[in-house]
Structure 1
Amino acid sequence: AQPMSKNAYEARQEARRERFEARAESARAESDTLARRSSEMAEAIPFGQPVQIGHHSEHRDRRFRQRIGDTMTKSVDALKKAEHYERKAASVGNGGISSDDPDAIAKLTAEAEALDKASDKMKACNKLIKKADREGLAKLGFNEAQIDKLMEPDYMGRLGFPAYMLSNNRANASRIRKRIAQLEAAAQRQDVEQEGNGYTYREDTDENRVMFIFDGKPAEETRNVLKRHGFRWSPSRGAWVRQLNNAGIYAAQCARKILD
């Protein structure tokens, strides 16, 4: 089967993961190099030889030993940096379905439908368990070991799937459908572009971002206003941004009152 092609958001996520992995690899290589250098430097000192107090070489020896320690510290710092980027690489794409994903509505709909199917299967299963209908359970796709387990009472004497599992499924499906409704409403938004006092304000539906764009680097006071209202510098967009949603638009309106 042909692999499914990635949409633009998924491609950006993959590129982001690769950047983190490359930074981690570079930091690990730096750590290894520094550790070897520190060891090689230490080998120049005879094993167990103390600093010769009062000798003309004392200060030079102390500086050399300090450099050995500093080099090893840098090696450890580079290793920590590598581990930091490895964690970031591993976390890319694991935060659930992002609103930035152009296929978010389709993916969330599939999730909600899967939860509905699971709930229907659990309810059907519970009915069959009450009848001790092993054949019916087999037709639902359960094997013998699973059927034995389903027929076995839990610590509270319950058989089958407990009510809280069905309740959780319904609650999750409802939460997902509310989010789908919010994304569908957001999809009806129109792009906005307005000129402000030394900046261009933009609501970009393709990027799913509220943006402030300046001709050059804004003054520190301006940057502080943007930061206080949740905006962060995006080098790839050349703008100060936050997500395009009601909270982002409201924060932008508050920031614009100050900037103007």
Structure 2
Amino acid sequence: MNAYEQKQAERRARYEARAEKATQESNAAHAQARNMAEAIPFGQPILIGHHSEKRDRRYRARIHDTFGKSVKLSEKADHYAQKAAAVGTGGISSDDPDAIEKLRAELAGINAAQDKMKAANRAIRKGDRDALAEIGFTPEQVEELFKPDFAGRVGFPSYALSNNRANGRRIEQRIKELEALREREDVEAQGNGYTYREDAEDNRVMFIFDAKPDAETRKLLKAHAFKWSPSREGKPWVRQLTNAGIYAAKQVRAVLDAAE
């Protein structure tokens, strides 16, 4: 497990811990509400006009609020459980130091799948089931490949091959971009009230301001997908160091440097 993967694991663990804490608090609030409700005799109505009416209404309202608190905490637990489950499912991140190697492995799988589909289609055109078995298809899969689809096509349709090929080209382009970015020298430049940096090791484009940026500047940064990162030194506004990130930074710098 590399440093990025360790960070992801720790992030997942934090979300799981928050989900567990919210679940325990939800269960406790629900139990408290039930205990409070049990103090009222079953079917006991509010005694209108009785000296206990106001106190009884307040007590019942507290029961209702406590049940509501339990529901909200349960929803909070579900929220963090979903965030924990989503960690690491967004594909290969550019922040991963092994991203290029992982992308190359993914590309190899895509190319192998392309070759397998092409070979399968050649065998299907010849009606050669033995060749399909040699490629690696099970008897059940072989029979499925010979079944026409809604358009009467057998085997792998052309769109499946073109989509797979397009995905391979996308990954090839991403590998080239990551390789180029990792060879870049760090950049630092002074601007109108800020320091601009391109940090290859941190994989971030960032703005560090001399003072807290005003509302208009924050709006500008957010519009270009920059996020405030108070945990980093200088509390910069950052986004990933990609070609798109560098271009967005140029747009932001042009506006900031033109301001009085």
TM bracket, shorter-chain basis: 0.7 to 0.9
| Matched AA of 2:81 | E
How far apart are residue 257 of structure 1 and its match?
4.6
Amino acid at match of 1:81: K
Separation in 1 of the partners of 2:145 and 2:217? 63
> Residue 245 of structure 1: which of 242, 246, 250 is its match?
242
The number of residues matched between the two structures is 255
Q: Which residue of 147, 151, 167 corresponds with 2:146?
A: 151
2: CA distance, partners of 1:156 / 1:245: 42
Aligned-residue sequence identity (percent) comes to 62
Deviations 1:61-81 (A, max 9, x none): 111111111111111111111
Worse overlay, 119-128 or 196-205: 196-205
Deviation at 1:103, TM superposition (A): 1.5
Q: Using a 3 Å threshold, how does the CA distance of structure 1 residues 154 and 226 change in structure 2: closer, same or farther?
A: closer
Structure 1 residue aligned with 2:96: 101
State the alpha-carbon separation in 2 of the partners of residues 159 and 227 from structure 1. Answer: 49
Task: Note the aligned Cα RMSD (angstroms).
Answer: 2.2
Shift of 1:11: 1.2
- TM-score, normalised by the number of residues in structure 2: 0.88
User: Where do 5+ consecutive residues of structure 2 fail to align?
Assistant: none
For 1:36, give the aligned amino acid: A
Distance 2:47 2:239 in 1: 61
What are the within-5 Å matches in structure 2 for residues 169-248 of structure 1?
Answer: 169-214=164-209, 218-220=213-215, 222-237=217-232, 238-248=235-245
| 3-state secondary structure, aligned to 1:109 | helix
Whole-Å Cα distance in 2 between the matches of residues 139 and 220 of structure 1? 65
| Residue deviations 1:141-162 (CA, integer Å, cap 9, x gap) | 2232322333344444333222
Question: What residue in structure 1 maps to residue 107 of structure 2?
Answer: 112
Say which SS state the counterpart of residue 78 (structure 2) adopts.
helix
- 1:160 is paired with a residue of what secondary structure? coil
Corresponding residue for 1:76? 71
| Structure 1 residue runs of 4 or more that deviate by more than 6 Å after TM superposition | none
SS in 1 for 2:198: strand
Deviation at 1:224, TM superposition (A): 3.9
- Alpha-carbon offset, residue 256 of structure 1: 3.7
Deviations 1:109-164 (A, max 9, x none): 22222111111112222222233333322221223232233334444433322222
> Residue 56 of structure 1 aligns with which residue?
51
Once residues 17 and 236 of structure 1 are traced to their aligned partners in structure 2, the CA distance between those partners, rounded to angstroms, is 18
- The change in CA–CA distance for 1:143 and 1:223 in structure 2 (over 3 A counts) is closer
Which amino acid is 1:255 matched to? V
Structure 2 Cα separation of the partners of residues 252 and 160 of structure 1: 48
For normalisation by structure 1, the TM-score amounts to: 0.88
Q: Deviations over 1:224-254 (max 9, x none)?
A: 4433432212233233211222332333334
